[in-house]
Chain A
Amino acid sequence: MSSRAATPTPTALRWRPRSIEAFYRPLRRQLDHDSERCVQSQRGRPRPFLPRAVTRGGQIGVGESMRRFGYLAPKSVSEAVSVLAEHANVAKLVAGGTDLVVQMKDGVRRPQVVIDITGIDELRTLEERDDGLHLGALVRMGEIENHPLIIEKYPVLVDSAKLVGSKQVRNLATIAGNTCNASPGADTPPALIALDAQVHTLGPTGPRVVPIDQFFVGPGRTVLEPGELVTKFVVRKAAPNEGAYYERHTPRKELDIAVVGVGAWVRLNGETIEDARIGIAAVYPTPLRATDAEAALRGKPFGQAALDAAAAAAVAQSRPISDVRGSAEFRRWLVDVLTRRAVTNAVARARGGGPRAGETH
């Protein structure tokens, strides 16, 4: 408990304006800037008012920067691989579009070719086979949260998928998209790390399988080679003495991004934690596999001592930054709290109880 006691009370908001005028100054500056730009655009040709998001960078018109790209819609995986290989360095795949379309509107990504893979039914597999659960690249968050088999046997996937965006977003967003976008704060990667998912890919040189904890190399970057795409995720079949759980902290319950999220998986042998895996969101340049925390649990009886050791190890392995969502100190404190909760609830699920799928708050 010492690590928690030693951490001072977090202060996320450092800016303390001295007067009400000072408080409003940045907003007024922004409004003046926007209205000036709106007036300028009307001198050329009359236009209705456009929100700032679409006039950014001096460009006028909704998604003007998004217009200039080629569009291809392959109908099979092999066709997708060949067109992707042909345009390897200038193309982006669109699956759900909930990240890519927004990034293109903001001008963050400007692909010359967009390859729409939403029409490829082979990528929609969702079934349990002898070797485990097969989740096709295009399986949507909304499908995961409502799938009876996943709710019953892989509830940690529901915990994480249910937290992504809104209902409208989850009906578009895909599991491969949430992974390949490689945001360090994404919710599904810690759950996939906890479940030791294997990422199946296909590229010009053929198929390969990458363990999920080796899939990410940095913010927005993965091991995928140019021309390579994710076809599916395979998760080992759930056993009765195993349990997994994901929880994140956010100021708002829905439509928010994790300040920190922790996913944990355990396999019990009586009271002993035989094996454990822990994935953490938003405390490292990639989704983090907290191997030291796992080692601290392995072979230990479940209890306060094991939790203390695991939480301390997870905190030690985290490299959080301070940003708009929270300070590094606050994040370290959250890693401590959420690691304890995630392991405790994973153990409860392994014993046949614990929170119901998706009920993580």
Chain B
Amino acid sequence: MTKRVHVETRINGREVDFLCEPGQSLLEVLRDQLHLTGAKEGCNNGNCGACTVILDGRIVDSCLVLAPEVEGREVTTIEGLAGPEHLHPLQQQFLEHAALQCGICTPGLIMAAKGLLDQNPAPTEEEIRLWLAGNLCRCTGYDKIIRAVQAAAQQMEARV
């Protein structure tokens, strides 16, 4: 019964196709086949948010998406956030505010924060905290992360 599935999709603005087992998650394909290792595997069951990517403009846990489901859709990972020449304001501000220690949760947090700022360019602290509730950080603590997101929002507002 099991047959590999051919999937055509767009990842970080480029047409991509791959063969996968039906039971592979998007996260596994991103990391193991496409070598986009930015998205991390944390809990692998939708609790920690380390694998957050943007799917058709909405943040999702890529460990909960079956790889064949992304046929014809658009995926953005942390690798597609900014070009090779510069950092995205969120990346810049995470560095400025030392909003990471071990870094495992960081790609997920940045992608989740991008999803927030795309919808709401000037979120309140409470809005940021609630939005990022699905991203667990076990070493930095959330305060620096919240401040980095606020600073990135200001930086992006100023640029517009």
Name A's B-contacting residues (CB within 8 A): 51, 53-54, 62-63, 66-71, 73, 94, 96-98, 101-102, 104-106, 112-114, 116, 118-119, 142, 165-169, 171-172, 253-255
Contacts and interface: CB of A to CB of B under 8 A. Distances in A.
B24 interface: yes
Contacts, number: 117
Nearest to B24: A63
Interface in B31-55: 41, 43-47, 49, 52, 55
Contacts of B130: 253-254
Contacts of A70: 1-3, 22
A145 to B, nearest CB: 11
A166 B22 contact: no
Given A63-B23, A68-B23, A168-B60, A105 B44 contact: yes
Nearest to A64: B23
B18 interface: no
A165 B131 CA distance: 11
Contacts of B52: 168
Interface of B: 1-3, 5, 21-25, 28, 41, 43-47, 49, 52, 55, 58-61, 63-66, 68-69, 71, 112, 115, 130-131, 133-135
Contact of B47 (A67, A101, A114, A255): A255
A104 B28 CA distance: 15
A334 to B, nearest CB: 22
A69 B1 contact: yes
Contact of B69 (A62, A116, A142): A116
A166 to B, nearest CB: 2
A73 B68 contact: yes
13 contacts: A51-B41, A51-B43, A63-B25, A67-B21, A67-B24, A70-B2, A73-B71, A105-B45, A167-B59, A167-B131, A168-B49, A169-B61, A172-B60
A165 B134 contact: yes
